[in-house]
Chain A
Amino acid sequence: MKTTKTIFQQGNHKWVAIVRDPEKPNYLVDTNEYLVTHGGKGLLLDPGGAEIFPAVFSALSAEFDPSALAGIFASHQDPDICSSLALWLEFNPGMRCYVSWLWSSFIPHFGGTADTFVPIPDEGTDISLEGLILQAVPAHYLHSSGNFNLYDKIAKVMFSGDVGAALLPPGEDSLFVEDFDRHIRHAEGFHRRWMGSNEAKRRWCERVSQMDIDMLCPQHGAIYRGADVQRFINWFDDLQVGIVKA
């Protein structure tokens, strides 16, 4: 079963990371899910693949009533992001799924109806969670061609999807990046291969470096906090991406 860690709390406004399942089969990529709660409602960010649904559900339901989930934010269309959608909808069929307009007719193959999807325009949008404004920030081509991050100005937390992701070896499973130089080696190959556009990467770095971010939370690997956030942005800005060693 996965564990939950509250990474931000201010009254009923919370960010909960759902991470690290020791029983997960090795053939499934490890993922982080995040729950944002405010005013008794929740938004689940990249809820994960169908096969890990039981682990995510049980961890989440220990913290929060799943029927109070108002929506799901899908950073992009991959199966490890949201192939569990139909299962979450079992608990609240009225739940909305926020996703790039580019994928709003693809993701319904995972579940949902015409009413489920809220397409996000390329320039991004604001998503309200019981009055808390969360900002869908464009991150197109990083790696998906229709890709968004989610920024919470109050918590100063940015959910960055696959940006900042690291495929950590067994044993290195701390929730936060403790040693940037050591950690980033596990992120380098992933970013070079998965991120398809240097231009898109440069724009993202420019945009994000102007934002006030305390924590950068990727979908795989550990969370960057404090000075490591800017350190990561600088590292990413310098990295040549879209490269295959073949």
Chain B
Amino acid sequence: MNALTMSTARPPPAGDDLLRIVRINEEIKRVVGVSFKINIMALNAIFLAKRAGTAARGFGVLSNELRVFSQDLRTCMEALTGLIHGCVNEVSIVLQDIRFARLLREAAELAPQSAAIAVLQRREDENEAHRQKLASLRGQLKRALEDAFQMVELGGVLAKSAKIEAAYGQSFAPSLSQVSGEFDGIVEEIRGSLESLRRSAFFTGH
């Protein structure tokens, strides 16, 4: 295909992508902040369960699991942040490609007998490689986000189990119920954040 007509048909959404990535990154930062909160809450819950003794042994085990969950979630979010940085880098390259391809295309149109068409063709091939790399990173990010979502599902189960265990806490039951309710609320908040990330136009394209 002629390089002059090759890429005009595809309006590249890279500029929008950069904005979408920024929003994803902000949401990830929010999840990291919240997961840190779970860690602190879980530590407090472990101490509370210890004070409650054998009646809250199950609650103690679950609190410990929630603490591990919060740490795993942070590790997962760090991996997502790494992928986000990779995407920012690749989107920036694609944006530059778009500008250069536009200028080379204009040059080729003004000087059709020159070497500009061959250079533009070569450029377009390189640009396609960059677009594919971005598509691959987009896929990796989507999969990593799904993994995070699965992890949060598990966190939700742990929080709900903690709610049930709290009921067996005898005189500590009201305090344990309050803590487990807070766990559940926070896990739901994270789930909401990840749901909105899943719906991001960066993945859906609209």
Residues on A facing B (Cβ under 8 Å): 1, 50-51, 53-55, 57-58, 61-62, 65-67, 86-87, 90-91
Contacts and interface: CB of A to CB of B under 8 A. Distances in A.
Given A61-B116, A66-B115, A91-B115, A51 B110 contact: no
Contact of B114 (A50, A58, A87): A58
A66 B99 contact: no
B123 A90 contact: yes
A54 B107 contact: yes
14 contacts: A50-B103, A54-B104, A54-B106, A54-B107, A54-B109, A55-B110, A57-B110, A57-B111, A57-B114, A58-B111, A61-B111, A61-B115, A90-B104, A91-B119
A218 to B, nearest CB: 25
Contacts of B110: 1, 54-55, 57-58
B100 interface: yes
Contacts of A51: 103
Nearest to B119: A90
B114 A61 contact: yes
B120 to A, nearest CB: 9
A86 B111 contact: no
Contacts of B114: 57-58, 61, 66
SS of B interface (majority): helix
A1 B114 CA distance: 15
A62 B104 CA distance: 16
B118 to A, nearest CB: 10
Nearest to B122: A90
Contacts of A58: 107, 110-111, 114
A55 to B, nearest CB: 7
B85 to A, nearest CB: 20
B103 A54 contact: yes
A57 B111 CA distance: 8
Nearest to A53: B103
Contacts of A67: 115
A123 to B, nearest CB: 36
A61 B109 CA distance: 12
A87 B104 CA distance: 8
B112 to A, nearest CB: 9
Given A57-B116, A58-B110, A66-B114, 16 more contacts: A50-B103, A51-B103, A53-B103, A54-B104, A54-B107, A54-B109, A54-B110, A58-B107, A58-B111, A66-B115, A67-B115, A87-B104, A90-B119, A90-B122, A90-B123, A91-B115
Nearest to A56: B107
Closest 5 CB pairs of A and B: A58-B110, A54-B106, A58-B111, A61-B114, A54-B107
Most chain-B CB neighbours within 10 Å: which of A51, A57, A62, A66? A57
A51 B115 CA distance: 19
A1 B109 CA distance: 11
Interface string B99-138: 1100110110111011110010011000000000000000
Nearest to B99: A50
Contacts of A1: 110
A180 B33 CA distance: 68
Given A90-B123, A91-B115, A57 B107 contact: yes
B107 A53 contact: yes
Contacts of B116: 57, 61
A84 to B, nearest CB: 8
Contacts of B103: 50-51, 53-54, 87
B153 to A, nearest CB: 46
A61 to B, nearest CB: 4
A55 B110 CA distance: 8
Given A53-B107, A58-B107, A86 B115 contact: no
Contacts of B100: 86-87, 90
Contacts of B122: 90
A51 B102 CA distance: 10
A234 to B, nearest CB: 41
